[in-house]
A and B are shown apart, each in its own frame.
Chain A
Amino acid sequence: MLYVVILFLFAAITLYFLLGGADFGAGIIELFTSNDNKHRTRKTSYQAIGPIWEANHMWLIITVVILFVGFPTIYSEMCVYLHIPLLIMLLGITARGTAFAFRNYDAIKDEKTQGFYNHIFVYSSFVTPMFLGIIAGSALSGQIDPTAKTFAGVYIFSWLNWFSVSVGLFTVALCGFLAAIYLIGECPEVYDVKRFIKKAKAMNIAAVILGALVFLASYVEHVHLADWIFGNLLSLTAVIAATLSLVLLWFIISDKKNKQWIRVLAAFQVSMILISVGHTRFPRFVIFKDGSSMSLLTDHATGKSIDDLGVGLLIGSLFILPALGYLYYSFKKKGNETVEEH
């Protein structure tokens, strides 16, 4: 049952990255859209993510619940040493979720308040995935130092370092990329399609550059990222697969018929990156500066808790997955019609 729970944990993280990430990305794209086109981007993203955005963020809740029920030590240690980035991420989630709901449900749509919501929405859409990336980078890179003597040593340099920050920026670029690819298939007008293709390419270039920065930072911070990834076959294959899918994506992105394929490719590409890193560090989930780590295979809750959690997740997914599938299907089927604003 432990493996079922671990599988759910990874599935939830991956789905959150893909779905929640595309959702954050919609805000990032809006941030990097010229003022003339901002309202077009807003309209498309409202229609595309409006009905599903709440559900997309539930994967984070599932992740957290799995962690604190199944891996309570890991959860509580992360909460202690990564308190500050978690807090900033939470503020980002709060600001973003409320701004998105407020701007759509404000009964009076005057420019001043809408502008205010938009500001909050786009900046928090940038900050939140950035800190999610920072948290992931810090957990895996071995920068957490519980024995440090100062406040900054324990609670700040654990996450404020070149490696974690570049992982954060890399995450932002990936989210923007996912969103752009997703939105390509959502807009009825050729003008917008072209815009989003351009955005997708720009975000992809940004991701490649920032990915290189991650490698560079890993040398500076003595994180043996290259060894992890190139040192084992599965991670290497995953990285090569991601690169190949990227090349393929560039070739077919402009063709309208391929809009489902480019989504699959983009999701594949991002999943491969997650698998590549996840595999090389598994079962370690949090790594400390002295080289010790917390492992999914040893630092888990005992017997019955894990079993019940596994059963709960299995039963839960019987309810959730069909309903979620039908939600996406229903609003996809009529995707090119205008969502009536209610």
Chain B
Amino acid sequence: MSDHTHDISKHRKTYIMVGAILLVGTLLTFALDHFESIDLKKRAGMLVATIAALSIATIKGGFVAGVFMHLNDEKKWIYWVMGFTALFAIGMLGLTIWSMKDIPGQGNQFDRTTGLPIVEKVSGK
């Protein structure tokens, strides 16, 4: 974090501006769901609504982390710590998503002796 006290008043304005951006982002997320004229879930489908809502959340999160938590101007130790954390967190999410294929009835299961898919056998279809 910058320790220059003469920058503080400038920082204050930035904090208020970012706060306003975050509020607008929240309103936009609310509007995605609340107004029928915008309702993305109905108009464009769940996937588009999910991408839109999570994109807004990511932008908002970026502002909080970058400006409020001062990650846009930090020491390299913190970048290393959080870089590794992000790597492991993404890895954990990836492993979870990857493991979804191992759910019985969802495919990717094979008989040990024949090597044939056992989807039908597991799901009972």
Q: Do A and B bind each other?
A: no
Residues of A within 8 A of B (CB): none
Interface residues of chain B, those whose CB is within 8 Å of chain A, are none
